[in-house]
Every structure is written in structure tokens, then in C-alpha cells.
Structure 1
Amino acid sequence: MEQQEVERSPETGSIHVPTRHMVPLLRRLGGPLLSITMLCLALWALHLLAHEANYHQVRSYVHHLSHGRLLSAALLTVAGYGVMTLYDRFALASIGKSLPWRKVGLISFISYAFSNAVGMSLLVSGSIRYRFYIQHGLSTAEIARVVLFCTGSFWLGLLAVTGVTLLCVPLPPDLPLATFSLYLGGLLTLLPLAWLVAGSVWRRPLKLWRWRMSLPPFGTALRQVVVGALDWGLAAGVLYVLMPEQLANGFGHFLAIFVIAQIIGLVSHVPGGLGVFEAVMLAGFGATGNGALAAPILGALAAFRVIYYLLPLCAATVLVLQREAWGLRRQSLLSPWFTGLLPSFFAGLTLVSGAVLLFSGATRALPLRMAILSEVLPLSVLEVSHLLASVIGMLLLILARGLQRRLDAAYVLTLILLLAGAVFSLLKGIDYEEAALLTLLAMALAPAHRLFYRRASLFSTTFSLGWIVAIVAVFVCAIWLVMFSYKHVDYSADLWWEFSFHQGGAPRALRALVGSAAAGLLFALGSLIRPVRLRCEPPSEAELAQALPLIRRADSAQAHLALMGDKALLFDDEHKAFVMYDIEGRSWVTMGDPVGVDEEARRELVWTFMEQCERAGGWPVFYQVSPANLDLYLEVGLALLKVGEEARVRLATFSLDGKSRKVLRNTVNRLSRDGLRLEVVPAEAVAPLLPRLREVSDAWLRDKRVREKRFSLGAFDPAYLMRTPMALVWQGERLVAFANLFLGDTRQEASVDLMRHLPDGPAGIMDYLFVELMLWARDQGYQWFNLGMAPLAGLHSRRQSPLWNRFGALVFGRGERFYNFRGLQRYKDKFDPEWESRYIAVPRGIALPLILANVASLISGGLSGVVWR
């Protein structure tokens, strides 16, 4: 067993990360660290560019925007999102599919509202489209083509607008790209032109590895470019009507700077291009050192963010929640998916609410509202409310992760803090807008208690790098807001102790910032000192004794593999269920589903195992799981791949009568005449038989020239064999075959694991063993006899099949050098079983080949066992 990459020193308790794992660790940290670095650089650049502007000027500009300009921006936003529906409309037409415009519009609006606000458009919008379109009958391949069409249209339109604009409108000479603007414009224009022409010139499909792509005809390509260009033109129009009037150089000049800022924001990996887009816009319009120009531009950009990003995001969230409520009333087939998605929606809204409280605490309150408060509230109430509101903001950022993990404690605390935050928002500055947002979220969250069923500790919750980046990014933005809002205030140590209604904004913001940072650090410290289980050790006899009652009550005989003792056992807190697992490389692999009859305990174990893997930097893998439990793994975000089919014989209808059973009947009758007989002995009687069992086992291993398997199969281990009953086949006084039995108290299913026979034994001895065991199990009242899994059976190599299915079908048909896949399925098929699919649940991403190699290594006792039997 390979030692897990995170090791704890027994002497000091310190955690050591071996050098061989530093490269994968740095690779995982690279993306998030790049995002944080780019955000910090963008905010620093924004600070330098807008150092003459102040918070009052920005707020004043936003406050004095006319209703006509705001209405125009809103109408252009509606038109822009309307044009975005054409992406999906034309994408569906390109693959020969048609859906009602209302459904296509809803899917497109929701996907773009979230991807525009969050960033990572391909991942976010692709995921949302997959969730919706799969419900409307589209295959995975068709959805992938739709996503690629929409993404291609998005970029083709951006490149076309940017290229043409740079060719027609010269950039300001002080911009870095001004010298090369014509060359850059020509290059960017050539890309969409080449796309338009390529489909007419190159008729054959392009092939890249396993992908085949036919270039679109001229008409389809033209629609892509035009829709993309129109989308970007309307987005630019929204900001243009909000910009100050002194920037009267025309829409063309504005569009050139807008599209360049958008491209830089997109490639920066900062969510939504936050800070990067604003910094480029300020630089492009020459606002450096000009407070009279920088403040209006920042005000227009803030209004643009609200109108074009935030309002559509809120509308999309309301639509999803409304659709969920409608689905619950109508018992729609879509309702289970939406129900599963709601915790993530609530988590996202809670994250936004926490950011709103932090940003509010970092900025100035309105003077008129502060004047009203000074008449009705003591100063101490104001100060405490301001501090607690920011602390609650930080706690909501943390609790958002708990909501995504469906923690009951996170749900209760979030409700309490949302209502408390609403009260403190009113007490610190009559911020009724924030109070309304928090109250509405609390009202929406209140009836959803059943979605948050986990009773795990908040401190045991793991935070992915993405969540850590999001929390740090929000806090960094809050720091920048404090610096920007109070840049005119001279810092001194006495500032921390100044308390005033009208002149105490800066001290309050600083104290709130420190208070929220302290709350985050205390939670992080509490999480760091929580007890962790980082080692994978074989179970003790006490653990096996605790697991035995659960194994005997399990419906699946596969649970008995825990008795092998080669897999670690992870119990829930009340020992109502367990998972058995082992570690190979970075893969933490469980054998089968969680074992236990308590559904809540089994579900909690899946989450617990996931979090343990995340803390250790490992990949959670659930191997050979049944269709009845797939929702457990889909709920935690794992992908499912079929790995084969399990053969189960219905004993009530099994017999040797009939023409189809003639061969089996003749074999059993012949061997019975030769003196073969079956004996089933209890586990207590196995120990004296071990020497004779070993003779049979060693002879079988020598004859087959194979090594012992493990993990999903038993091995000849005396301690293991003495824990299960044994089926013996005697020929007179000579032991010729044996198999240990998996027998449960529920009598739902019987099975065998380790099967061995003498090489010189009678022909057909294994047929005899299986038939006699099935008849014996039927007489004992068992309902099923499990013949085990046929790996890779049931996978098909069709044109539209996923790559894994096609690869598995290839190995199943031509992999006899490594394993008798087809022969094993044919052998089991002659007992006329019912075949049931088995799956592996794995993390999404590109780690699948390594995970499959790790699983194969576990079963074969090392990578060499995968190649040599």
C-alpha cells in the first residue's frame, strides 16, 4: 500500500508533504494563485490610476445619472440578453434540433446571466446548458456541440468587433498597443474571415485525435460572427450611455477601448474581469491623475456592473427558484434536479450577501441617513452594529461553503446571521437596500430545511481552492474599498480609537475590516486544529467486530469483502454504516457502496469520505457501485462511468429442468455418480481444514500461473477464511474444490469469493460447485445468488458513445492477453442470470486515466500485476 502523500510525524505532530508530490500540489495551486495575483495587481493599478478620484465623487456621479440614461442602459441590456438567445437557437439548428423559443430563451438567459457575472464562461454556461438540455432529450455529444458552437460564436464576434474597430478607429497614442493597433486589427479580423471562408473551401471533416469536426457552411458561420458582434456591440452600448458626457469622441473610439478591456479581462482569469476591466478603461480614456474624469468613469463602470451583470443574475436566480417551486407543486420530473441544485444556489447568494456586508462596511454611509441615526441612536449602538455587520459578512462567506455541503448547522446559522445582518444594516446606516436583500434571502432559505440534512461539524468542512480564492478575493476587494473610500484620511495610531457620528467613518471601516479578518482567521485556526485522519491502516479486530453486524444485515453480499482486512474502514459517528477503502497513488478508492441500512448515515459517509480525500489532496473514487445508489455520488458532484455488469441468479426460478439446462444437468449428474458431494461448514469449523485448503489453493495458483488478487477479490489468507462459512467439494475423502461463502442474515443474497480446485480434478467441477450452491441457497431461503461482476461487459462502441465506453468495449473484445473478459461473461451467462450495471464514481476532469490505473493496481496487487497475471 502506498503511503498517502500527506504524512504526520508521530514525534512532533507536524505535517510533511513529500517532495515527489510538490509538483502536483503546485499545479493545483497555480490557477487560483494566478487569479489572486492578477486581482491584486489590477486593484493596485486601479488605485494608481484613480488616485485623484474619491469615493464622494463616484457616488455623486452614480446618484445623478438621469432616469433616461438608466432606462436606456436597462433596455440595451434586455436587448443584449435577447440577442444571446440566438446563440443557442442557431446552435440547435446546426445539429438538427429544435426546441420552443421560450425554453431556449430561458436556458440561454440563465446560463449567460451566471457565466457573465461569475466568469469562466465555458465551464459555467456549459454546465448549466448540460443540466437543462439533458432534460430535453439531447445527448451528451449534442450538448457538447451546442456549447462549442455558442463559445465559438462568442469569441468570433469579439474578434470581429475588435479587429474591425482597430482598423477603423486609431487608439490613443499613449496606450501600449497604439503602435501595433493596425497590425493587431488586421490579424484579429483575419481569424473570423478565415472561419467564414473555410467551410466553403474545405469540405472534409477536420480530425484532431478522436474528435471530428465539420466546418460550418458560409451561412452558419456568418450567423455566428454577426450574432457575436451584435452581442458585444449591445454590451458596449450599455456602458456607453452611462459614461460621462465629456468623453465625446464617438462610439467607435469608445468601442475600441471597451473590447480591448474585455479581452484583457477575459484572459486574466479574474472572475468577471473584476478590477482588470476597470483599470484598462481608465488607462484607455487617459484618466490617470485626472480625478474629474476618473470618478465619473468609475461611477459609470459601477452602474454598468449592476445593470448588466448583477440585475440579470438576480433575475436568473429568481427564475430558477420559481421553477423549482412550480416543479414541486406539479411534481415535475425536473424537480429532483432543481432540488439538488438549490443548495449551490443558496450558497452563491449567501456568498454575495456576505460580500455586500463587507463592502458596505468598507464604504461611507450617506450623510443624511447618519444625521437621522444621530438623533435616535446612541453612538455605541452604531459602532457595535457596524463592526458586527462586517463580522457577519465574513461569517456568511464561510457559511456559504457549509450550505453547499448541505450542513444543517450552516443552514441554521445562516438564517440567524441573515436576519441579524439585516438588523445591523439598518442600525449602522439605515441601509434598507442591504436589509431587504438579506431578509429576502432568509425568507427564501427558510422553507428549504429538508435540503440541508447533514449534521457534520462546520470545522470539518473542507474548502476547495476555488472557495478560498473567492473568500480571499472578496476580502482583498474590501481592503481596496477602504483605501479608496478614505484615501484623504491621514493614518495615525489614534485613528483606531476615534468614535464619532459624522467623522468616524474611517475608524469604523478599519475596525470592521480587522474584526472580519479576525473572524476568518479564528475559523481557519479552528479548522486547522481539528482532528484529522490521514493514514490508511488495516482494520483492527475491534473494527471488524463492529462492522460484522452491518455486513450481515446488508442486502449486498459484496459487503463481506470488508472481512478480508486489507481495506481501511471509515465509520460514521454512530457506527450505523461504514465504507471500506484503500489508497493507491492519489486515488482513495472505496469498494462498493457504503454498507449499512441507515440511509442518512450512508449518505453522510459519502460526504465525509469526500472531505477526507480533499483534506489529503486525494481523488475520491467509489468503485463498483450499484444503480440504486447513484444519486449519492451525483449529489457530491462526481461523474459516473460504467465498469461492467454483475450477474445475479434469481433462485426462486432456478432449476436444472428444461432443454436449456441440459448441459448443466448432465454435468451435475455425471459428477454425482463419480462420488462428488457438497458440504457447507460454518466459519467456526474452517480452522482445522486450512492445511488441506492451502494444498488445493497452491496447486491451483501453480497451474494457472497467476498471483493473488486483492481489494475487490479475496486472497488465501487464513484469518480471512476463518471469518466466513466454507463450501467444500469432496470426492470420497479427497478435497477437490472449495469456495468461501458470503451469507447475510437477511437472506437477500448469497455469493462466493475465493474459489479454488485441483488441476487434476474432474472436468466441470466449478459448474457442479455453482449449481449445488445455488440449489442449497434456494433451500435455505435466499432470494438471489451473486455470480460477481463481468468487467467491461455491456459497454458498446458506437459512433456517439463516450470515449470511455468505446475504449472499454475495445478492451473487452481484444484484451484477452490481460484478462479473460469475454470468456468470464460467457461462463456466467450459462446460468441465465439477470445482469445489472455497475459503475465507478470519479472526480470530473483529466485525472481519469491515472485513477483507472490506480484501481487496476489495487486489484492486481501492483502495476506489474496488471500486465502479468
Structure 2
Amino acid sequence: MDMLVRRDRRRRIAALLTGAVGVLALLSAVLPPLRDRLETLIGLTPFLVPATAAGVTALAGCTLLVVARGLRRGSRLAWAAALVLLVVLTLLHLVKGIDWEEAVITAGVGAYLVTQRRAFPVLPSRAAAVRAVALSIGGALVAVFVAAAITVSFGGHRHHHYFGETAREAAGRLVGVDEARRVGVPAGVVPGLGPASSRVLPVVGVGLVCSALWLLFAPRRAPKLSRHDHERERERARHVVERWGGDTLAYFALRDDKDWFFTGSSVVAHSVRGDVCLVSPDPVGPPAEREAAWSDFREYAERNGWTVLVIGASETWLPVYERNGMRGVYLGDEAVLDCSAFTLQGGHMKSLRQAYNRVGRAGVTYSFHSPASLTPQLRAEMSALSVQSRRGEAERGFSMTLSRLADPADPDLLLTLAHQAVEGGSSRLVGFIQWVPAADVDGWSLDVMRRSTEEDLPSGIVDAMIIATAEHVRDAGQKGLGLNFAVLRTVVSGEQEGRVPEIARQVLTRLGSHSQMESLWRFNAKYDPAWRARFVVVDDLAQLATDGLAMARAEGLTGELPLISAIPRLGEQLQGVGTALLERLPGRTREDERDDDEDDDGGAAPGAAPTR
């Protein structure tokens, strides 16, 4: 474990130093050399040598910036490329102007890298190598063909008589080889293109090299399993979750878009998005295996060049992550309702009591099912209601949703169905909640809830379903219900005091997300729940922005990020993480909240559970 932390620290240092040397090379190339040193150098070599060395130095500096990314990912190929470039740069600094200061710094960074070989174990995959070669060859052929075609078409009589010869001259300039002198034109000029070619073609060549290196240094892609193998792995993970998965988020490890890493008796559910490996929930397995399981997974991620981001981490796992060199960032709180102590009595429960009674008077009753016992008709009604009430064309979420609705493959779920009696003695489905098992709270954890959007329905159906479920759980001898997640609850509620939380509240207000988050927090708070803090855990705080973007994509929130809104069509305005999480409160609007205070207490309708 300590070795993993040390290797990661060395990679971070190596990437920073290499990037700094790259920037230094660019600055040194564009700044004029010291006069006395240049005069000494010109006395020893032709003037063309330092001038050419300065240009090559700039190109090498640009390439080093790309290589630095590979070093941060632990690429062995990036390590080798960096050593070669640093050696070349050391010589170039001396040749272009006897810049011994830059040469010493560059050589020192190279010496450091020589001693850190073991910190770079990631090798490029065969697919990445094929893509890099295809890009290099294909791009070079296109560039040479275009340059030669322009030369022949617009070069007058200055081009070669044979297209092949002109193409060879263009290829030479692409890789920095000057052969144009042989046709009686100025040095560095491809016949027919003019002096611009000596600038454009080398830049295109460097661009192709950097692009190929970018592909080679990219982390490995996650292995793709067939549908059959993926389902088999999921069922294997299900056995682990059933045995050890007590956390309110543990069952969400079985989402269809996740992969599973097995070690010992534990499993780590994850999904690779680009170069970020998203882990959610915390690893599931025996408590005695926590350190070993996480260490094994970190080594697996390191071999593939992935950075690791844990979403929704619990406080009990934070020490394990921190001992691996990771940092936890507060994300919000999960509301957990104690059904054995929950009551509707008291003035602070007035809004819930009114909602429950109002829905009961409208003839709404509740039933509880397992997905395995649902009739095809009920399952079809749930699917139709879900499509009707959800926001957007597809379900969103990653860390706190299951991705399957009333699937017979999940027989241990609990479904709360709300039906309203209609004329003719029949009934219609007006709402449902899907719960996943959560042994740690001796009960269930909220997955998804939906209510009909028909205008003739009373407000408060979601609240009424939760209250009915709480009573059902209590009558069954169980205790807890995991409710919604309140993003940045302690910040939004004002529980955190100080300058930083105050600034955060002002920023959220300006971005339009404070009211969304506050609405979600207040929806939870009226149940008087216990709060469980959840965290995002990152490898490096410097990568929080890029890792956070990967998390937002997974949760389906990229259209609501403020910084992305500056890019056309990627987002209009931050609605906040709370907007998407409010999707778990379908149909509940500010009008609903006003209605809660407009109705007086009333008796429950026949068939509805009595108030408490």
C-alpha cells in the first residue's frame, strides 16, 4: 500500500518536472540568446546551427508537454520517450546558445527519471499501438499528398517533372529533412509552395507525432465482455452483495453499466470513463479484507493507467482510502429514516400529515410487492408511468440508482405501488417506489420513485407512499429506510458556518442551484431523519475538475455544469447536482409544497392506513 502511494507521488513529481522543462524549452527557444555566448558559438559553428537548434528545441518542448501526461498515467513508453527528449534537449540548449543553465536543469530532471523506472509500469495496449501507427501513417500520407498536389497544381514551372519527386520533397520537409536545395530553390522550400511550406509541413509532422504519442500514452480501455459473460459476472457479484452488502448503496453495485473486480471474497464495482475509473459504491466484502481488497484494486487500476474516483464513499471507508494517498471531498448527506420511531404526530409533521390524509381522501391505497410476483400488466403500467414522469428521454444516475425497473432478476427488491380507485370498480396506478435491500439500516434504500403527472391527482402522493412504506417496514419488524441524497446539505442548510461555506452558498445562489439543493434538503428534512455523510474520493485534488467531469457524465449531469455552458450546446446554465437528484422526487413542485400548507388536517379515507 505504501509502495502504491510512493509510486503515485513519484509519477506526479515526474510529470510536473517534465512539464516544467517543456515550458522552459519553449521560453528558451523564443527568447534571444545572450550576445556574448552567441558570438562565441558562431565562431565555432555556422549560424544555421543555433538557429535550427532553437526551432527544434521549441518542437521538443511541445512534445514534452504531451509526454508529461503519459508520465502522470504511469506509461513506460512515456518514461522512455521523456529520457530521449531530455537528452536531446540538453544538447540543444548548449548548441543553440550555450544555455548551460537550462541544460543543467534538463539533465537533472533526466537523471531523476532514470532512478524512477519502476514507477512507470503501464504498457500501451495492442489496439492503442495500432491506432497510433494508423494515425501516423495515414496522416503523413494525406499531408504529403495534399502538399504535392498543391505544388503540382499551383507551383508553375518550379515543381519537379514527376509527381513522385515532388511528394518526396514534401515528405522530407514533413520530417524535417531539407532536400529542396537540389532543385535550385531556397533552402527549406518545397518547390511550388513557397517559404510557408518550411513552416507548415514541419508543424504538421510534429502534430502527427504528438497525436500518436497521445494515443500511445492513453490509459488502457476497460475489457469488454460479451452479454453472457457480463451477466455471469453480475450474478457472481450478486452473491457477494447478498453476503456482505449492508450499506444503503451496496446493492447499486449490480448496475448493468458497471464492471466488477474480484479479489478474495470482495468485489469492487467500477466503470471506466475515458481515463477515469469511477468506483461506486465502496468495495463490498468482509471487513477484514478492506485494506487488501482496495490495495489489489489500486494496483489493477495502476497497471491500466487509470485514475480512481470513488463516488458516494462512506465515512467508514475514508481511512482506507486516505492510507492509499487519496483525498475525500464532502459531497452531501443521505437521509435515513428510523421507521420504528417515526410518527406523524406533532406540529413539525403537519405538512406530512396533511399530504397523507389528502391522498387518502382521494381514494389512493398502497400495496407492496417483489418484482418476481408482479403480473405482466402491473409491470407494463410501471414502465409506462416511468416514461411519463421522468425528466428527459432516458434514466439518469450512476451511484445511487440500479438501472433496472421491477426486473425479475432482482427478486429481493421491494416495490411500493399506489393505486387510485376509479369509476367502475377498477383502479389506476398513480405512483410507485422501488427500494433495494440495505441490511445496515435493517430495511431498504430508495432507488427510484415516480408519480403520475395527471392533473386531477392530489399533491403529496410521493410523501404518502414513503409514509405507507415506513409503516409497512415497521409492521414487518424492520427499522430503516434510506431516503434521498441531499447534495452539500451542511452548506445549503447553513449548518456549516464560516467564510468558505458562506462563499459556497453565494456561488450556488448565483448559479441557480441553491434553490434546487435547498428544495431537496427540505424534502428530506421534514421526515426528521438521521444524516449520513457521503464523500467523493480522488487520487489527486489537482485532477478534481477532470475527474468531476467524468462523474457528471456518468450521472447524466453534463448539461447542467456551469463551466461547460460556455461551450455551445453542452449546457445552458448550472441547475446543480440537485436538479438531477430531484428526479427522485417526480411530480413534486413548489405548487405541491404550497398545497401542503393550504389543506387542513383531515381523516384518512377508508382503506388508507391510519395517521400516527
Question: Could you say if the C-alpha distance between residues 771 and 832 of structure 1 is closer, same or farther in structure 2, counting changes exceeding 3 Å?
Answer: same
Give, in whole Å, the separation in 2 of the partners of 1:554 and 1:677.
32
The alpha carbon displacement at 1:824 in A equals 0.6
Counterpart secondary structure, 2:473: helix
AA in 1 matched with 2:324: V
1: distance between equivalents of 2:409 and 2:430?
19
Give the match's secondary structure for 1:655.
coil
Residue 671 (1) aligns with residue 391 (2): no
Greater relative CO (CA pairs within 8 A, separation 6+): 2
Q: What is the CA-CA distance between 1:783 and the residue it aligns to?
A: 3.1
Q: 1:832 aligns with which of 514, 528, 533?
A: 528
Q: Is the 8 A contact 1:739 1:754 kept in 2?
A: yes
Task: Give the secondary-structure state (helix, strand or coil) at the position aligned to 2:448.
Answer: strand
Count of residue pairs brought into register by the alignment:
382
Write the distance in 2 (CA, Å) between the matches of 1:825 and 1:269. 56
Aligned counterpart for 1:27 among listed residues 55, 60, 69: 69
Post-superposition CA distance 1:26-81 (Å, at most 9, x none): 5333995698469979999xxxxxxxxxxxxxxxxxxxxxxxxxxxxxxxxxxxxx
The answer to whether the 8 A contact 1:687-1:722 is kept is: no
Aligned-pair distance for 1:831?
Answer: 0.6
Retained in 2: the 8 A contact 1:35–1:268? no
Give the counterpart of 2:332 among 638, 644, 662.
644
- Range that drifts further, 856-865 or 757-766: 856-865
CA contact 1:621–1:842 (8 Å) conserved in 2: yes
Match of 1:844 in 2: 540
Q: Is residue 401–residue 448 contact of structure 2 (8 Å, CA) maintained in 1?
A: yes
Q: What's the offset of the Cα at 1:570?
A: 1.7
Q: 1:696 to 1:798 in 2, by over 3 A?
A: same
- Name the CA distance, whole Å, in 2 between partners of 1:776 and 1:662: 21
2:435 to 717, 737, 741: 741
Cα-to-partner distance string for 1:815-853 (whole Å, 9 max, x where unaligned): 446992221111111111122221111111532111111
**1:546 aligns to what?**
236
Residue pairs, 1:34-73, within 5 angstroms:
36=83
Structure 2 counterpart of 1:577:
266
Distance 1:787 1:746, change over 3 A: closer
**Helix, strand or coil at the partner of 1:622:** strand
**Structure 1 residues 39 and 705: alpha-carbon distance in aligned structure 2, compared to 1, 3 A threshold:** closer
Aligned to 1:566: 257
Q: CA deviation at 1:799?
A: 6.9
Q: Deviations over 1:120-156 (max 9, x none)?
A: xxxxxxxxxxxxxxxxxxxxxxxxxxxxxxxxxxxxx
- How far apart are 1:541 and its partner, in Å? 2.8
Provide the TM-score with structure 2 as the length reference: 0.54
| One-letter code aligned to 1:784 | G
Letter in 2 for 1:735: L
Preserved CA contact (<8 Å) 1:738 1:755? yes
In the alignment, the residues of structure 2 paired with residue 843 and residue 721 of structure 1 have an alpha-carbon distance, to the nearest angstrom, of 38
For 1:827, the aligned partner's letter is F
Q: Which ranges of structure 1 fall in alignment gaps of 5 or more residues?
A: 1-20, 45-174, 178-259, 277-350, 356-396, 399-462, 469-531
Post-superposition shift, 1:718?
A: 4.8
* CA gap 1:737/1:581 in 2 versus in 1, 3 angstroms: same
Once residues 269 and 784 of structure 1 are traced to their aligned partners in structure 2, the CA distance between those partners, rounded to angstroms, is 62
Secondary structure class of the residue paired with 1:652? coil
Q: Is the 8 A contact 1:645 1:838 kept in 2?
A: yes
Mapped contact 1:557–1:749 kept (Cα < 8 A) = no
After superposition, give the CA deviation of every residue in 1:771-822 in whole Å (9 maximum; x if it has no partner): 1112222222333221131123224897764xxx788645543444699222
In structure 1, give the amino acid aligned to 2:397.
Answer: R
> Residues 708-761 of structure 1, C-alpha deviation per residue, up to 9 Å, x if partnerless?
203124377457475133111111221110111112456624122111110123
| In structure 1, distance between residues paired with 2:526 and 2:393 | 25
Please tell me whether the aligned partners of residues 315 and 533 of structure 2 are also in contact (alpha carbons under 8 angstroms): yes
| Cα shift at 1:550 | 2.9
2:398 corresponds to 1:711: yes
* Distance of 2:112 and 2:418 partners within structure 1: 76
- Out of 108, 112, 119, which is 1:464 matched to? 119
Equivalent positions of 1:269-668 (< 5 A) are: 270=108, 463-465=118-120, 534-535=222-223, 537=225, 540-552=230-242, 553-572=244-263, 574=264, 576-596=265-285, 598-668=286-356
Instruction: Provide the C-alpha distance between the structure 2 equivalents of 1:709 and 1:650, rounded to a whole number of angstroms.
Output: 28
Q: Report the residue type matching 1:686 in the other structure.
A: L
Provide the rounded CA distance (Å) in 1 between the counterparts of 2:497 and 2:342.
34
Query: CA, structure 1 residues 607+822, in 2 after alignment: closer, same or farther (shift >3 Å)?
Result: same
Give SS of 2:345's match: coil
Distance 2:288 2:429 in 1: 46
Provide the rounded CA distance (Å) in 1 between the counterparts of 2:112 and 2:315: 47
Question: In structure 2, how many angstroms separate the alpha carbons of the residues matched to 1:540 and 1:815?
Answer: 41
Cα deviation digits, residues 286-325 of structure 1 (max 9, x gap): xxxxxxxxxxxxxxxxxxxxxxxxxxxxxxxxxxxxxxxx
Question: Partners in 1 of 2:274 and 2:503 — Cα distance?
Answer: 23
Relative to 1, partners in 2 of residues 1:613 and 1:685: Cα closer, same or farther, differing over 3 Å?
A: same
Distance 1:39 1:548, change over 3 A: closer
Cα distance in 1 for partners of 2:89, 2:313 equals 47
Cα distance change, pair 569–727 in 1 and its aligned pair in 2 (3 A): same
Tell me which structure has the larger Cα radius of gyration: 1
Equivalent residue, structure 1, for 2:44:
none
SS in 1 for 2:349: helix
Aligned residue identity for 1:563? L
Mark the CA change 1:655 to 1:617 in structure 2 (over 3 Å): closer, same or farther. same
Q: Which has the higher helix share?
A: 1
Structure 1 residue 580: Cα displacement: 1.5
Query: Does structure 1 residue 696 correspond to structure 2 residue 385?
Result: yes
Matched residue type, 2:436? F
Out of 719, 738, 754, the residue aligned to residue 448 of structure 2 is 754
Contact 2:379 2:406 in 1 (8 A): no
Percent identity between the aligned chains? 22
Moved over 6 A (4+): 38-44, 273-276, 796-800
The alpha carbon displacement at 1:604 in A equals 2.6
How does the TM-score come out when normalised to structure 1? 0.39
Whether the 8 Å CA contact 1:42–1:275 is kept in 2: the answer is: no
Which residue of structure 2 lines up, in the alignment, with residue 442 of structure 1? none
Gapped runs of 5+ residues in structure 2? 1-62, 73-77, 92-96, 124-219, 422-426, 562-569, 573-579, 581-612
Return the alpha-carbon distance in structure 1 between the equivalents of residues 293 and 445 of structure 2: 25
Distance 1:467 1:734, change over 3 A: closer
Say whether the 8 Å CA contact 1:551–1:744 is kept in structure 2.
Answer: no
